[in-house]
């Protein structure tokens, strides 16, 4: 029930952002093309094993601000995160000792305003990440673009890392490294009106 309420609130917020942007004369926000975008994560064991997972469900917008800059708002359903072909690992990762998806089914990243040069030239995209009810400053790295219109002609490549312990994930320290890598390949599309 709480996850459904959270999803409805996220949709209502996206509609409100689009309405405000149009009222202020700013272009409507862009959304993510889910068929051509991918979000994932990776954690390593203390024994060198790499455990890779995916976030198949996410939503968000790229707001076009009146001053010409942009802001990303991305919500990711941790409750649907999966480690392919590893159902036991998937259940553990969704559980209380990792994402704790019963109490925190979503994580959210809200960027600081940035210019379109960042997508072309690459660099740090700063913002705030909320995970397991904890909000902290977070920086993600945008790779330099391979095309003139990043996100439309070619994907935007994003990477970054968090420390599990910063977000209350302190169990399994003997078996798992504290660092979790976040990875994304994102394509954009204009919001259909």
Helix, strand, or coil (residue 15):
helix
Cβ partners under 8 Å of residue 48, min gap 6: none
Q: CA–CA separation, 138 vs 108, rounded Å?
A: 11
The pLDDT value given to residue 10: 44
pLDDT value at 193 more than 90: no
Q: Domain boundaries in the chain? A: 2-190
Q: CA–CA separation, 15 vs 122, rounded Å?
A: 29
Q: CA–CA separation, 164 vs 134, rounded Å?
A: 11
77 band by pLDDT with thresholds 50, 70 and 90: very high
pLDDT value at 185 more than 90: yes
Q: Which of 19-28, 65-74, 175-184 has the lowest mean pLDDT?
A: 19-28
Q: Tens digit of pLDDT for each residue in 84-99? A: 999 998 998 899 988 9
22 band by pLDDT with thresholds 50, 70 and 90: very low
Q: Tens digit of pLDDT for each residue in 124-138? A: 999 999 999 999 999
The pLDDT value given to residue 172: 63
Beta strands in 24-171 (DSSP E): 30-32, 38-45, 50-54, 58-64, 70-77, 106-111, 123-131, 134-142, 156-163
Domain 2-190 has CATH 3.40.50.10540: no
Q: Read out DSSP for 56-84?
A: --EEEEEEE-TTS-EEEEEEEEGGG-B-T
177 band by pLDDT with thresholds 50, 70 and 90: confident
The pLDDT value given to residue 48: 79
């Amino acid at each position: 029930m709480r996850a459904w309420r959270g999803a409805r609130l996220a949709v209502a917020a996206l509609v409100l952002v689009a309405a405000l942007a149009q009222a202020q004369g700013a272009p409507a926000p862009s959304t993510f093309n889910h068929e051509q975008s991918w979000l994932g994560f990776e954690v390593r064991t203390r024994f060198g094993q790499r455990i890779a997972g995916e976030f198949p469900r996410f939503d968000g917008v790229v707001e076009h601000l009146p001053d010409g800059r942009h802001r990303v708002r991305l919500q990711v359903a941790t409750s649907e995160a999966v480690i392919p072909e590893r159902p036991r690992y998937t259940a553990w990762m969704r559980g209380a000792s990792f994402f704790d998806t019963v109490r925190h089914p979503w994580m959210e990243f809200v960027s600081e305003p940035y210019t379109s040069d960042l997508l072309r030239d690459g660099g740090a995209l700063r913002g705030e990440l909320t995970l397991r009810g904890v909000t902290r400053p977070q920086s993600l790295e945008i790779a330099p673009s391979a095309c003139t219109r990043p996100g439309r002609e070619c994907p935007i490549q994003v990477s970054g890392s968090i420390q599990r312990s910063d977000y209350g994930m302190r169990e399994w320290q003997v078996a798992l490294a504290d660092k979790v890598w976040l990875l994304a390949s994102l394509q954009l599309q204009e919001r259909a009106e």
